[in-house]
Amino acid sequence: MTLYSPEFSESEQSKIDAEFSRLTENKSVYLDHAGTTLYAESQVKAAAEQLQRNVICNPHTCRLTGDFVDQVRYKVLEFFNTTSEDYHVIFTANATASLSLVAENFDFGSFGNFHFCQENHTSVLGMRERVSHAKGIYMLTEREITGCSLQNGSSKEKPTDPGRSLVTFSAQCNFSGYKIPLDAIGNIQENGLHTPGKHIWGTEGKTSNNDYYICLDAASFVATNPLDLKRYRPDFVCLSFYKIFGYPTGVGALLVSKRGAEAFRDRKFFGGGTINYAYPHTMEYQLRESFHQRYEDGTLPFLAIVGLLEGFRTLERIVPKTKELATMERISRHVHGLAKYLEDQLKQLKHPNGEPLIQLYNKAGYQDRTRQGGIVAFNVRTDSGDYVGFGEIACVAALHGILLRTGCFCNIGACQYYLGLDGDAMDAIYKRAGRICGDYFDLIDGQPTGAVRVSFGYMTTIHDVEELLKMLRSSYLATKPQQRILFIEEQAGQLPPVLQKRVQNLRPKLLQMAIFPVKSCAAFKIEGYLKSWPLTDQGLKYDREWMIVDMNGMALTQKRCTELCLIRPLIKNDVLELHFGDSCVSVPLSLEDQAADSAKCVSKVCRQPVEGLDCGERVAEWLSTNLGQDGLRLLRQSGQRNSSKDQQKLSLVNQAQFLLVNRSSVRSLQFEEPLDDTVDRFRANIIIDTGLAFEELSFKQLSIGKVQFQVQGPCQRCDMICINQKTGERSPETLTTISRLQSGRMRFGIYITRISKDTGDLQLSCGDTVLVE
């Protein structure tokens, strides 16, 4: 077990706490420092006093403002242990603007390529749209970046006319907190890439002879870690100051090494402050001699830049350096210690059956601070291994006063890597399901589309971590799902509007309906454009109103004839069409039309006599021909049939009006086939997804939309579920898997009966909310 050892002394911690008393007053726990850290109270007070004390105006007018701006440039260089001899400081709006500036101005030459890391912020992906002058674009994995040294340490061959290739990666992943070893910077600059990565765009060709430049997205890293630019020398460093100080926003920087400056091409645009002169009557102009001035278009955000001075001073005052450790080194140790403690505590959270509560996402663990920062990414799981949507976690956390982040954190590549999503899964999430960055569409077929992230700053305390752990224990180990959902719904008014919308989706929904017009044949599914279906006093309209009987009048089922699953029904206009391959036959939907030209007959279902109408010779011959059995007939139920228990009216079903199946229970079987195919094996009328496997077995009553149902009991399964409903092939492991999961019992799905006997115009609709008693 990891014991927490504080980095700050008691007196230091007291001073820090005093700067953030608003958190205590608002009963808030702030755990999204990777989004932005918080500003200290004395910091903003001192910044305001500075504005009151001085006349700070446009630097083109006021020399004092220019002096302030120059002083900030010096502090930025000092903060990263470098000087103006080695790096230029260009002020930008934020790290994204810095990345854009590099993409627009980097000169790739004739053969240069753009390489980026998969686990990068979305803004790095945006660079691809502005590097069309590169020869090719490649995606690198983190391992391809860190394993970049050429074998035997030999340097790459220098061509006479090399291209310039740009490699962009994050020093610290903002999804997981994993730190890419910064030694990779020098290795790539010296030796190039061992592999170019996956070709994404442009011309694919030999690239090993190019000169390689490094663009380091340091926004996440420098917020809580020291970056020594004397030791590591990336050509470009992109950052946002609000990540470090919390205030002010709207100002970032691009640090450009002297080598990097030589790789910038002449600008195609200039703005005020970037030129010595520009003629209106000719195309002549002259850029400023100072490198940073050429790229700072227009008037700088000078008030925000001046405010950075108090950011530097406050950080050094609140977290003073020691003889051994500088300020940022101490902050790095502090946030890593908290993350390490949290990770250890999360691993110990177990359900009563021993299953872990938390699925963690990291690469190297939390033992080595040089590889892992103060970020912990995870998802919550149920005792059956199903995932809890991160949107629900966001709701629960907000109601407990905990501010954290959920989703993909503008890092879809890292999300793809840690969640194990292939191209098809990505398309299912973003193209077919329509998820967008920042929404709370958190589960698709039970699989997460994002995660929960907590991240720490120098003002985070061990108490904050314990509050998060307390929330997870009380909400997900000591509380049943229905209780938790009720708690969220009752408190929903306290949530932000975007989370209030998520509350509406906490309850399970009716995902799909299926009717089986011909007993034991394939389903007619209510989905897609067909959202609703009417109810009758027997169940879903047309469900199991027909059945196929043999020459002895006995009902034919898939146990005797697996090919029945290949007969596909289609309800179209006023007829029921039956399809088998390319062959088709139809019968009227109207019972009156059927009765006008049909003979009466009697058969049995579950030992009960059933009155029926023979549907005629044409469909009988069609059935016998396609199923290869003589004497087959199609019968339609015409007389009333009641259940033996409660006199409910039944169609040709075996036991109850409806069969309900929970997709979460189906997922737990983990068959090596598409989930929809496994769901089809159970031939349910009503399909829901509660997020918890086998939860439906505890239901007593439920309502779907406006319709109330009584649970009759579990469905005891036979070997019919071993039949793949698309192919007719048998796979016995279906039954054995259910038996193993339920200690020898064969229960799967539940029988339900409508309580109300007043049919009226009642119908069920896909998307109806399922409420369970």
Residues annotated as part of the active site? 410
- DSSP secondary-structure letter at 717? P
- Number of helices (H) and strands (E), helices first, in the chain? 24, 37
Which residues, 6 or more positions from 338, have their beta carbon under 8 angstroms from its beta carbon?
4, 374, 456, 460, 462, 465
Burial class (CB in 10 A: 0-12, 13-18, 19+), 444: middle
User: Tokens 């098809």 appear where?
Assistant: 424
Neighbours of 572 (CB within 10 A): 11
Q: Hey, which residues does 551 pair with through a beta bridge?
A: none
How many other CB atoms sit within 10 Å of the CB of residue 338? Answer: 26
**How far, in Å, CA of 29 to CA of 31, rounded?**
6
Chain-centroid distance, C-alpha 772 = 28
Helix segments in 644-732, DSSP class H: 663-669, 675-681
Q: State the amino acid at position 769 in one-letter form.
A: T
Residues 6 or more apart in contact with residue 565 via CB below 8 angstroms: 520, 521, 522, 558, 723, 724, 725, 726, 728
CB count within 10 Å of CB 126 equals: 13
Alpha-carbon radius of gyration of the chain:
34
Max intra-chain CA distance, the chain: 106
CB atoms under 10 Å from CB of 331, counted, come to 27
Burial class of residue 281 in the structure, from the number of CB atoms within 10 Å of its CB (0-12 exposed, 13-18 middle, 19+ buried): exposed
Residues 6+ apart with CB under 8 A from 198: 138, 139, 140
Token couple for 633: 């007939």
Torsion from C-alpha of 301, 303, 309, 314, nearest 10 degrees:
-120
- Whether the ω angle into residue 248 lies within 30 degrees of 0, i.e. cis, is yes
Q: Which two tokens stand for residue 731?
A: 């796979």
| CA dihedral (659, 662, 663, 667) positive or negative | negative
Residue 139's closest CA among 77, 60, 78, 197? 197
SS3 54: coil
Evaluate whether 542 touches 530 at the Cβ level (below 8 Å): no
Residue ranges of E strands in 312-392: 358-361, 375-381, 387-388
Closest CA to 705 of 440, 485, 507: 507
CB-neighbour burial class of residue 671 (10 A; exposed 0-12, middle 13-18, buried 19+): middle
Distance CA 688, CA 702 (A): 12
Closest to 570 (Cα-Cα) out of 532, 531, 513, 517: 517
Residue whose pair of structure tokens reads 């590099």 in the numeric block = 102
- Contacts of the segment 488-495: beta carbons below 8 A, 24+ positions apart: 488/392, 488/395, 488/396, 488/399, 491/399, 492/395, 494/398, 494/399, 495/395, 495/398, 495/399
The neighbour count for residue 69, using CB atoms within 10 Å, is: 20
